[in-house]
Amino acid sequence: MAAPGTRVPPSHVPGGGRGPPDGAARPKQLPELIRKKRDGERLSEEDIRAFVRAVVDGSAQDTQIGAMLMAIRLRGMDLEETATLTQALANSGQQLEWPEGWHQQLVDKHSTGGVGDKVSLVLAPALAACGCKVPMISGRGLGHTGGTLDKLESIPGFNVIQSPEQMQRLLEEVGCCIVGQSEELVPADGLLYAARDVTATVDSLPLITASILSKKAVEGLSALVVDVKYGGAAVFPDQEHARELARTLVSVGAGLGMRVAAALTSMDNPLGRSVGHALEVEEALLCLDGAGPRDLQDLVIRLGGALLWLSGQAEAQAQGAERVAAALNNGSARGRFERMLQGQGVEPGLARALCSGTPTQRRQLLPRAPEQEELRAPADGTVERIQALPLALVLHELGAGRSRSGQTIRPGVGAELLVDVGQKLRRGTPWLRVHLDGLPLSTQQRSALQGALLLSDRAPFAAPSPFTELVLPRSFTQP
């Protein structure tokens, strides 16, 4: 077996050669490639590799990277271009190789980004408790959405940078790890990911597809489920555009030899009751206790059930879902989370206290904002919706997100929903608690938050699950 993280030979890695061989055509210069895509032309395989090579070796200027991303955003890419970009990004660093006996166990999940989306923090250890190996390569906050890595880094000592050898050790001893891109793993995507965040190209379908699948292509997975969000706070506001992305992910994944399914889930309301890095860690721990908000639990169980079924570790989605639910309820998922924390740098006593403590005790151990402000319902009514986007945008302004690559975030900033969708409210009832760190709420921000609460006069109702449908590879059918 090759050592984990064996580097792909230079002939297969963008930037691995020293230039074109004798007699080969001279590679196009970056301005020519940018012009080509700007004018709606198709990029060849060599064009795409040349662009990725320039990103990795530093010869591409930031302005050129931004220009190419915008050209792709405006002109798009066909499936073949998208697959080539995905492979070029994946080949920009090391390829992970695992013991042969692990193949069926290797699974992962990725999300296109949402508000309050802390599913990965719960699902990875739950799958590990079900016997899976989960080498999750995640990202940071992008646009108004929070990043899994940023949330985990709110835990003192947690280290998202792990070498391939360290990842293998974590999978052997824990069953899961959650890591970031490094100079070894998918470095090209790490650079483009940061650039997309500050160039208004977050919502490009081919760039999303290539970013997600390149990180997963290096993992050697048996199965992958992508949580494709749609709605007011998602990259795609309507279900049809989200379905287009889902089908693209499944198709491109199949072309790369990956078994990919895509779940369509609603992102009009925040997921769960907490938004903000440290607050979401607290809520993830509550879910690992077998408690927590129903919508969060439901999504974790459904996605986990689908992965166990797709990888052949359960005969049906329902059976897989039962196993994931059991791992949450019997404490085995929480145990895996504690071991992952210790394995990734958290002091053992702190990891133990976080996983065994009460919610109040946990809050004392994580970053806290010094100030809080509660907002009250302006009228009687039933909570029809709590719009996630205005909430996320205000928290972003308060320091929970980034306006430029590398910017420091405030992990204690966030908000707690004090009411549920479908609940009857009386005027003056507190419905939102905002956690503030240094920056007070302005009148405009307070107004934006109050406008996020939509009330109606209908009777109280049970909020529906955010899960809508599962787009499957052609070889699979819904049970």
Q: What is the pLDDT of residues 21-53, one digit of tens each?
A: 443 334 579 999 999 999 999 999 999 999 999
With respect to residue 352, please indicate whether it lies within any of the assigned structural domains: yes
The residue whose two tokens read 């190789």 is 97
User: Where residue 378 falls among pLDDT bands split at 50, 70, 90?
Assistant: very high
Alpha-carbon distances of 318 from 132, 263, 464, rounded to whole Å: 17, 15, 19
Please tell me the least confidently modeled range out of 170-174, 372-376, 384-388, 438-442. Answer: 438-442
pLDDT digits (tens, 9 = 90+) for 336-365: 999 999 999 999 999 999 999 999 999 999
Angle, to 10 degrees, between the axis of helix 332-343 and the axis of helix 164-173? 150
Q: Which of 76, 108, 142 is the endpoint of a domain?
A: 76
Calculate mean pLDDT across residues 117-142: 92
Q: Which of 209, 211, 248, 265 is catalytic?
A: 211
Active-site residue identified among 73, 110, 229, 277: 110
Domain range enclosing 451: 367-456
Q: Is residue 19 part of a domain?
A: no
Break the chain down into helix, strand, coil percent, rounded to 5.
45, 15, 40
Q: Of 312, 345, 360, which closes a domain?
A: 360
Is 222 labeled as catalytic in the residue annotation? Answer: no
**pLDDT attached to residue 215:** 87
Q: Which of 36, 49, 53, 109 is catalytic?
A: 109
Does a structural domain hold residue 259? Answer: yes
How many Cβ atoms sit within 10 Å of the Cβ of residue 147? 24
**What value does the mean pLDDT take over residues 55-78?**
96
- 50: CB partners within 8 A, 6+ apart: 14, 27, 28, 30, 33
Query: What is the C-alpha separation between 448 and 436, in angstroms, rounded?
Result: 16
Q: Is residue 94 part of a domain?
A: no
The pLDDT value given to residue 1: 39
Cα(257)–Cα(27) distance, integer angstroms: 29
Q: What is the pLDDT of residue 144?
A: 66
Average pLDDT of the residues in 85-107: 92
111 is an active site residue: yes
Q: Quick one: which of 336, 307, 341, 342 has its CA closest to 323?
A: 307
User: Does position 104 have pLDDT exceeding 60, yes or no?
Assistant: yes
Contact indicator for 150, 180 with CB cutoff of 8 Å: no
pLDDT band with cut points at 50, 70 and 90 for residue 198: confident
Q: Average pLDDT, stretch 414-429?
A: 97
Phi, psi (deg, nearest 5) at residue 53: -60, -45
Active-site position among 216, 259, 277, 334: 216
Segment 408-412 shows an average pLDDT of 91
**104 and 49 in one domain?**
no
Q: Would you give the DSSP letter of residue 400? A: I
CATH code at position 399: 3.90.1170.30
Which of 102-106, 144-148, 302-306, 410-414 comes out lowest in average pLDDT? 144-148
Shared-domain flag, residues 106 and 241:
yes
With cut-offs at 50, 70 and 90, classify the pLDDT of residue 60: very high
| Least reliable range by pLDDT among 18-32, 158-172, 214-228, 299-313 | 18-32
* Token pair recorded at residue 327: 């791992």
User: Does 63 lie in the same domain as 46?
Assistant: yes
Confirm whether 475 is a catalytic residue. no
Same domain for 301 and 207? yes
pLDDT the model gives residue 145: 66
- Nearest-5° Cα angle at 158, 153 to 159: 95
Among this protein's residues, is 274 annotated catalytic? Answer: no
Catalytic residue among 49, 140, 215, 339: 215
pLDDT for the residue numbered 142: 61
Q: Are residues 299 and 350 in the same domain?
A: yes
Residue 472, in any domain of the structure: no
Indicate the number of domains in the chain.
Answer: 3
Last residue of a domain, one of 360, 378, 403: 360
Please check whether residues 396 and 450 belong to one and the same domain: yes
pTM for the structure as a whole: 0.87
Q: From the candidates 47, 108, 189, 197, which is the catalytic residue?
A: 108
CATH number at residue 117: 3.40.1030.10
Question: In the β-sheet with 430-436, what is the strand arrangement from edge to edge?
Answer: 274-275, 414-417, 430-436, 371-376
The residue behind tokens 């005790």 is 361
Q: Which of 311, 111, 79, 120 is nearest to 212 (CA)?
A: 111
Examine the domain organization and report whether 50 and 161 are in the same domain. no
Q: Is residue 3 part of a domain?
A: no
- Asked if 46 and 184 touch (Cβ cutoff 8 Å), the reply is no
Using CA atoms, how far apart are residues 150 and 139, in angstroms rounded to an integer?
Answer: 8
Q: For the ranges 14-18, 262-266, 284-288, 459-463, which has the lowest average pLDDT?
A: 14-18
Query: Which residues, 6+ apart, have CB-to-CB distance to 44 below 8 Å?
Result: none
Q: What is the pLDDT of residue 180?
A: 87
In a domain, 82, yes or no: no
pLDDT of 366 over the 60 cut: yes
Which residue of the set 82, 145, 148, 311 is catalytic? Answer: 148
| DSSP codes of every residue in 123-150 | HHHHHHHTT-BEEEEE---BTTB--HHH
Instruction: Give alpha helix (H) positions in 344-382.
Output: 348-356, 359-365
Among positive and negative, which fits the CA dihedral 213, 218, 222, 227? negative
Q: What is the rounded CA–CA span in Å between residue 418 and residue 301?
A: 24
Please confirm, yes or no, whether 109 is among the known catalytic residues: yes
Of the candidates 161, 39, 171, the residue with the CA atom closest to the CA atom of residue 105: 171
The whole-angstrom distance between residue 138's C-alpha and the CA centroid of its chain comes to: 6
Mean pLDDT, rounded, of the chain: 90
- Residue 10 has what pLDDT? 35
Name which of 154-158, 185-189, 410-414 the model is least confident about: 185-189
- The domain that holds 42 is classified in CATH as 1.20.970.10
Tokens of 453: 């609460």
Give the Cα separation of 197 and 404 in Å (integer): 8
Are 249 and 234 members of one domain? yes
Angle among Cα 165, 167, 169 to the nearest 5 degrees reads: 75
Q: Is 110 a catalytic residue?
A: yes
Active site residue 117: no
Same domain, 345 and 377: no
Phi, psi of 458 (to 5 degrees): -80, 170
* DSSP letter string, 282-350: HHHHHHHTT-S-HHHHHHHHHHHHHHHHHTTSSSSHHHHHHHHHHHHHSSHHHHHHHHHHHHTT--HHH
> Which of 82, 84, 92, 111 is an active site residue?
111
**Given CA atoms 471, 297, 353, 333 in this order, what sign does their dihedral have?**
negative
Kindly calculate the radius of gyration of the chain based on its CA atoms and give it in whole angstroms. 22
Per the annotation, the verdict on 268 as an active-site residue is no
Q: Is 405 within a domain? A: yes
Shared domain check, 225 and 170: yes
Q: What does the pLDDT average to over 415-439?
A: 96
Query: Within this chain, do residues 341 and 381 fall inside the same structural domain, yes or no?
Result: no
Q: What is the band of 193 on the pLDDT scale with cuts at 50, 70, 90? A: confident
**pLDDT, average across residues 279-301:** 96
Contact in structure between 244 and 205 (CB atoms under 8 Å) = yes
The sign of the CA dihedral 120, 123, 126, 132 is negative
Backbone angles phi, psi at 115, to 5 degrees: -105, 120
Give yes or no: 28 in active site: no
pLDDT on residue 245: 94
* 107 and 44 belong to one structural domain: no
